[in-house]
Amino acid sequence: MNVGMVENLNTDNATIKVVIADDHNLLRHAVRGILETESRYLIVGEASTAEQAIALVEKEHPDILILDLGLPQRSGMDVIHELKGKKIHTKIVILSMYDDEIKVKQALASGSDGYLLKDFSPDEFLIAMNSVVSGKKVVPPKFNHLLTQVSDPSSKNANGSSSTATDPLEILSPREREMFFLLVEGLPNRARVIKKLQLSSNADLIRYAIKHGLVIV
């Protein structure tokens, strides 16, 4: 597991309070079982929805929130945006089935401290969690380059300015930023839909949707 440095959470053997948010009972049980093999971790709550996750974090003030992106009704990204908007400093580790660079980049840019895949082994998961506790960001090895982009505010772009100062999505709200990434991620599927409907462009697709009452404008 590759890591990049961030602010330390805890470097001694003090108790680390954890909330687990995932809509699958079996997954939550598995994560709890792995963490409880180390006495330093204390599970202070489990959630199956975004609202439950936010309420638990506000109530328990955990050190770490382990968060699934695919929660019902509201996404894990909604949870990140709301907690960050409330200036809650709980570290957030995404646990996802999506091995997708766009999602990893989106999660890191939104302020998460790690992105782990659900095909982890127990040993790999504990190593990753301990890395977060010691002040590092964690991602699957093939996305290591994203850590440099996110964690190095001093890095310069071609014109010599800070890369964070020229973020093309800076003017978007967190929710608008999330929608942008969802739109980009859907481009391949959209192209197939356009072809199957015998249309020529995205504009034709929008007109088609309006004509058939699929969207309201």
The pLDDT of residue 103 is above 90: no
* C-alpha span between 168 and 197 (Å, rounded): 33
Assess contact for 106 and 174: CB atoms under 8 A: no
pLDDT at 99 over 70: yes
- In the predicted model, what is the mean pLDDT of residues 8-22? 79
Where does 2-151 sit in CATH, by number? 3.40.50.2300
SS3 category, 121: coil
Residue position matching structure tokens 């907690």: 83
Q: What is the pLDDT of residues 107-117, one digit of tens each?
A: 888 889 999 99
Rounded to the nearest 10°, the torsion over CA 120, 75, 100, 64 is -40
pLDDT tens profile 115-149? 999 888 999 999 999 999 999 999 998 898 888 76
| Measured distance CA(151)–CA(135) in Å, rounded | 12
Residues of the chain with CATH 3.40.50.2300: 2-151
Q: What is the arithmetic mean of pLDDT over 8-14?
A: 59
* Residues paired with 18 in a beta bridge: 43, 64
- pLDDT class of 190 with cuts at 50, 70, 90: confident
Please state, in angstroms and rounded to a whole number, the distance separating the CA atoms of residues 138 and 94.
Answer: 10
Tokens of 8: 């330390």
Residue appearing with tokens 């509201």: 74
